[in-house]
Amino acid sequence: MTRKLGSGSLVIATHNTGKLKEISALLEPHGLNCISAGSLGLPEPAETGKTFVENALIKARSASEASGMVALADDSGLSVDALGGRPGVYTADWAERQWFEGEPGRDWYMAMGKVEGLLTENGPDTPRDAAFHCVLALVWPDGEHAVYEGLAPGSLSWPPRGTMGFGYDPVFVPEGSELTFAELDPEQKHRISHRADAFAKLVADQFGG
């Protein structure tokens, strides 16, 4: 039986205020006060895992050990069947561009183009099946943990379409839709996304529904 969260504070292993806001909105109805690792001044660990599960656990364990509190982390990305699951845990890395005047940044159009280029190299009949993955990891200070995996299956299209998403959303068409994630209304996307799937499993397991 999975250990249950009580009410109180939960460290979200992120320095991203947008992600904190999104997760807080999902968990506050269950009596949890979400605090970001960034607001506590906690370090960001190196994500050296080879899988989404490993990286989510690395982040959650680091935050829990440093704070002495229960911590939640997520790791997510895109996998493309014809590319052997790539970019996978390197989803964001594929968007890294050269530093310009000391400012790091990511070029998602470049990343989408890299995926398309590799598929094109494999020939016109190459399957375009893909999926977004999200793994949520809960870690308690004594080391006990729980993992929840979410999935949004679909396929890739080209050229990119839509302006409402981010990352690879403009080329990802979720299963059962003709629109890309970037063309869907955000509320509709959030109902069918990989993160929504993972959180639904966490809520069902931890809070009974």
Q: What CATH number is associated with residue 60?
A: 3.90.950.10
Give the separation between CA 202 and CA 137, rounded to whole angstroms: 9
Q: What is the pLDDT of residue 194?
A: 93
Within a 10 A sphere around the Cβ of 134, how many other Cβ atoms? 22
Q: What is the pLDDT of residue 13?
A: 95
pTM over 0.85: yes
**Which residues are annotated as catalytic?**
75
Q: Quick check: 26 pLDDT over 50?
A: yes
The pLDDT tens digits for 145-192 are 999 999 999 999 999 999 987 889 999 999 999 999 999 998 888 889
Which tokens go with 151?
Answer: 């999935």
Asked if residue 41 belongs to a domain, the reply is yes
Length of the chain: 209
Peptide bond into 104 cis (omega under 30): no
Asked if residue 134 belongs to a domain, the reply is yes
Asked if residue 53 belongs to a domain, the reply is yes
Q: Quick check: 98 pLDDT over 70?
A: no
Q: Quick check: 208 pLDDT over 90?
A: no
Asked if residue 126 belongs to a domain, the reply is yes
Range of the domain at 63: 8-207
Give the separation between CA 24 and CA 131, rounded to whole angstroms: 25
Asked if residue 3 belongs to a domain, the reply is no
Give the separation between CA 131 and CA 35, rounded to whole angstroms: 30
Asked if residue 2 belongs to a domain, the reply is no
Asked if residue 198 belongs to a domain, the reply is yes
- DSSP code of 92? T
Per-residue pLDDT, averaged over 35-60, amounts to 93
Res. 101 pLDDT band, cuts 50 70 90: very low
Pairing of strands 145-156, 71-80: unpaired
Give the separation between CA 78 and CA 132, rounded to whole angstroms: 5
Q: Which residue has the higher pLDDT, 30 or 134?
A: 134
Asked if residue 86 belongs to a domain, the reply is yes
Per-residue pLDDT, averaged over 8-24, amounts to 86
Q: How many structural domains are present in the chain?
A: 1
